[in-house]
Amino acid sequence: MNKAKTSAEKSVSANSRTLSLLSQLEKINVSSVLGESDNARHVTSKILHLVQSQEKTRKEIISKGSTGIEVILSTLENTRDLQTILNILNILIEVVSVGGGRRASVLVTKGGTQILLQLLLTASKDSPPNEELMMLLHTLLAKIGPKDKKIGMKARINGVLNLSLNLVKQNLQNHRLVLPCLQVLRVYSTNSVNAVSLGKNGVVELLFKIIGPFSKRNTSLMKVALDTLAALLKSKTNARRAVDRGYVQVLLTIYVDWHRHDSRHRYMLIRKGVLQCIKSITNIKLGRKAFLDANGMKILYNTSQECLAVRTLDPLVNTSSLIMRKCFPKNRLPLPTIKSAFHFQLPVIPASGPVAQLYSLPPDVDDVVDESDDNDDAETETEIETEIDDDKDQHFKNDDIETDINKLKPRQELGRPMEELKMYEQFFPELSENFQELDLVSKEPKPFIPDANLSGPIVVPTASEEHTAEANPSTKEVALKECSPSLTEEYNRRPVSLELPKQDNMKNSSLHQQNDQRNMLPSYQCLSQEIVKGLDRISLQNSAKNDQYYGTGCVVKKESKDNLTTLACSKSCDHVSPCGGSLFEGSSVQLGKLCCTGVDSEEEGDSRSSSSGEHVMLQVSDVSPVHDCDLYLEMVKSTKSIPDYSEVAYPDYFGHIPPPFKEPILERPYGVQRTKICQDIERLIYQNDIIDRVVYDLDNLSCSVPEEADVLKFNSKFESGNLRKVIQIRKNEYDLILNSDINSNHYHQWFYFEVSGMKTGISYRFNIINCEKSNSQFNYGMQPLMYSVQEALRSRPCWTRVGTDICYYKNHFSRSSIAAGGQKGKSYYTITFTVTFQHKDDVCYFAYHYPYTYSTLKMHLKKLESMHNPQQIYFRQDVLCETLAGNSCPLVTITAMPESNYYEHICQFRNRPYIFLSARVHPGETNASWVMKGTLEYLMSNSPNAQCLRESYIFKIIPMLNPDGVINGNHRCSLSGEDLNRQWQNPNPDLHPTIYHAKGLLQYLASIKRLPLVYCDYHGHSRKKNVFMYGCSVKETMWHTSVNAASCNLTEDPGYRALPKILSQTAPAFCMGSCSFVVEKSKESTARVVVWREIGVQRSYTMESTLCGCDQGKYKGLQIGTRELEEMGAKFCVGLLRLKRLSSPLEYNLPSSLLDIENELIESSCKVTSPTTYVLDEDEPRFLEEVDYSAESNDDQDVELADNTGDYEATNQDDGLSDSDSTRTLLS
């Protein structure tokens, strides 16, 4: 107790003494009496003693509210006594040496930098200058300099820039003085003008006198000299000077010497310092050339390989990797042109924009790559430092946020005359239909019992199937606008299954007679190479002569030139008909129950898990029976593609059932990106090991398919396929090049292709080398999708996430300035993944995301149309318009039939609010179609909630806004070569017909005062997780800017937040935290903003679904699948129903708990940015999860040497972020 009391007394005493001494010092400053210098010396000496001995004293001087720093700085500025100055400098050094950078920042804000620089100038006039004073001044400047962004400019203005340099020149052997001088020079060099000025005075040459080969002496000085040199060499002028003097070779020699002698890795920071100098010097083209000429690639490759075994040397490996990747010569893509391999002549050429530029190019222009991959050598050194620098850390400023209140306020305007809009009246017959011809009075809706064939499994017809009845042509239009005298009779008159007429399929029946199951082989053996070679794709061109289909999991039949290979199950399945006709009978059979346990002998052990039909049924019970293989083929025949595809991909034909197992987000293996980059670098170092053989090429139709057994075969000539060229690099490694969007020279991201000819037990590496986005969820656990035909034949027709060693990084292929929006030297990015196949000679498909083709949509709509109960559901499918290629754009209307044809029931029917939905404006966002599928199936279901929803709203749905883009494998554009979601402000009816007429429908509704309650456009998001919404709010937009503070007094109905809030409570994949309601300038022509601003729909949204997975909620840590996406579509409908229940029929007054947005906005700050060029134009904010593309993980901040605490390394964009620090949370 006494000890504690004594300690407290000492503390109070020390604080009192400090305050007393500071007070005395302040009085000395005020009075100018002679002899006060002795007192000042005495007082500062006592303060120094306290500061050196007690941390509390240091805190007291720097604490908030204390005037200690001001008093000390004032004394330093006014005194001329050397010892007092030395005391004060020592005091300040002690104060800022601990406590991080905060104390140094306080010293800067109190004007300390200016006082020290003036003192330095004064002291330099002494001849010779006082060494102790100079050392202390430079030591203190080195500590506070990094916290003063203006120190470089202040030093230049005060004329002290070259003082430190001259001190080094004059005292080269005095390491005690040289060390802090070099630290200050490094701080000065962060300003490019200073770096140039110092370079002209010989600083580069001077530093090369200090650094040298391996030596255990003066390592601290060596480290600081290297850091200073690296900072100076960031100036292109200094870098050129270093190249001209041959210093690149010198640096490489020094690095190798330290690498060889530092066997115990004690001097890693010095070795990294040499690499940092090489990194700076190779920022210019001359430096890269000198590096290559000095055999730098091989030197750094070999040394980094030797460092791999020691984890602590990772910073060296990472920096070496960065340098090698930077110096890797920029290559042109091995293509004749970066424009799409397919050409479509536009009916009208846009007056401006990238498409107009594309059409104006002379035919002989090489648009693949520029003559130079740099434009840096032409740049001149200019002062970078401006007042803007201060703002960067203080506030995140988004110049893209709309700040003009007049532009933000919605202004409802039709944009087209009413006479013209009347053309859309035909799409709203529900507003005039009176149903008087229908006998609906007092009739209860009949319970809908689906026909057996319609609710059964995926039916795969065989060649022996004969069609005795043709489909009634009237079934193609079940719209209610032309109702027959009795809808019930029409419904009863429909065929039990939707069978489309076969044109010539039955003419040649010889093969059908051979296909009787009595002639099948007695046993099913593993599919050999010869058999699978017979599994050619279904050809539409040959369908008239040879219409052979493959039974899912049970029967495979294919005619070869000389014989017919037939495969069958050796074990009978109860649900498979033993002979003739259809493979399946009975409505209770689901595809998941099919169990061909005789397919492979090793699978017999798993048969018990499939023996229980109920168990399997539970796993796939949520799958809707809307896939019909036969119908899909009929839909494909009417689909018009630019390449005139004649093949059908197996996955689209067989269909997809979500796998019963969970697919977790993949963990990124440590060092995977570094390994892949090293393998890429080996291509340059060991060029003789590279095969470089083209095995697939859309630009060269005569490209021969390799016959070797160990070479993979590729194909993408089917609907939605995208793969342009394949080059075999090594025996089991292939470079893949994607096709540009038609009438475009970029947007490479979507891929969908077929691979065959594989072997088991071999790891195949695939590199897609011409992606354009700067980041991807492939770096954060997303895997590509694969579909195995052999698995489908074994009753597992599903897309599954596959691939290991997945990463996404910048490569050495460069884009032309045409493709990069005028910028030179822009690199492409590589998606790389490794796959080991389960089955020999399988036929597998890979895709960016779950494919959903235009023909699939047509098939689903046709099935939904044929399965619904017209007594209950008003379902109508119209053709909104034709696309540029002549494909129809479907428009679907769904609501409930009126309860009767009584007047009040008809009025209720006509006055239901509209919900307007659209999807798939971007072809590569296939997840939007799966969400839309979930919405459509929920709306057409028999659940009471679905019926209530139909009775509450009329749904107008455009499920695919960009059919042409989807069909032809585009990633983002339509055939016009433009992003259709940037055309809503002023759509061209000739170039953007679907957008023009979709907007026309909404304008018509506005003209008749029937604005939709909700408009939602379904999208996919490539760089964020979860499902979320973007909406529009004037108030929230203004809150995210500091331009108009008065805007907070705006009155705005917060109802736009209700639906997202409801979804966050009901849909497990939905994340309210990722939602944003900010209106940006770059999004002013998107559907969401135009429908809100021009049409006047307050609840106008874009709903974004992740391509990867979720990081919150029920699905946290899992990759998203079609089941979750379809669930999201259904949950959206549930949200609309809850929105209706929360709303008054007349006034939508919602509970305040749902709409309490003020606190949420105060707590969060939505940082939304827009890409700088149209190449990366997205409907998404900037992605804040980042990966160091240049190197690999754990490139952490240097652990500085004890006597080098003043070191400061300016951040450089090339440094990136380490993997360990890469994941950040995007605030909403």
Q: Which residues are tagged catalytic?
A: 1104
Q: Residue 92 in contact with residue 112, Cβ under 8 Å? A: yes
**Could you tell me the CA-to-CA distances from 160 to 120, 174, 200, 1210 in Å, in that order?**
7, 20, 15, 21
Secondary structure of 225-269 in HEC code, one letter for each residue: HHHHHHHHCCCHHHHHHHHHCCHHHHHHHHHHHHHHHCCCCCCHH
Instruction: Spell out the alpha helix ranges (H) of 868-1009.
Output: 903-910, 927-939, 944-952, 963-967, 993-1007
Is the bond preceding 128 in cis, omega lying within 30 degrees of 0? Answer: yes
On the CB side of 1185, CA atoms within 13 Å amount to: 17
Which one, of 1204, 1176, 113, 304, lies nearest residue 747 by Cα? 1176
Kindly tell me the burial class for residue 781, based on how many C-beta atoms sit within 10 Å of its own C-beta (0-12, 13-18, 19 or more). buried
Distance between CA atoms of residues 807 and 814, nearest Å? 19
Does an H or E element contain 221, and which? Answer: helix 219-232
Q: Residue 817 in contact with residue 824, Cβ under 8 Å? A: yes
Tokens of residue 640, six digits = 């018009």
Instruction: Spell out the alpha helix ranges (H) of 308-387.
Output: 314-327, 354-360
Q: How many CB atoms lie within 10 A of CB 1065?
A: 12
Q: How many CB atoms lie within 10 A of CB 871?
A: 17
Q: What is the largest CA-CA distance in the chain?
A: 125
Q: Residue 504 in contact with residue 637, Cβ under 8 Å? A: no
- AA letter at 982: R
DSSP reduced 3-state for 893? strand
Tokens of residue 857, six digits = 């949509």
Residue 342, C-beta contacts closer than 8 angstroms, at least 6 positions apart:
642, 643, 739, 742, 968
Tokens of residue 202, six digits = 């010989």
Q: Which residue matches tokens 């499902």? A: 1027
DSSP reduced 3-state for 1158? helix
Which one, of 838, 790, 794, 839, lies nearest residue 554 by Cα? 794
Residue 920, C-beta contacts closer than 8 angstroms, at least 6 positions apart:
852, 926, 928, 929, 932, 959, 960, 961, 962, 966, 1018
User: Rounded to 5 degrees, what are φ and ψ at 515?
Assistant: -90, 15
User: Rounded to 5 degrees, what are φ and ψ at 832?
Assistant: -125, 140
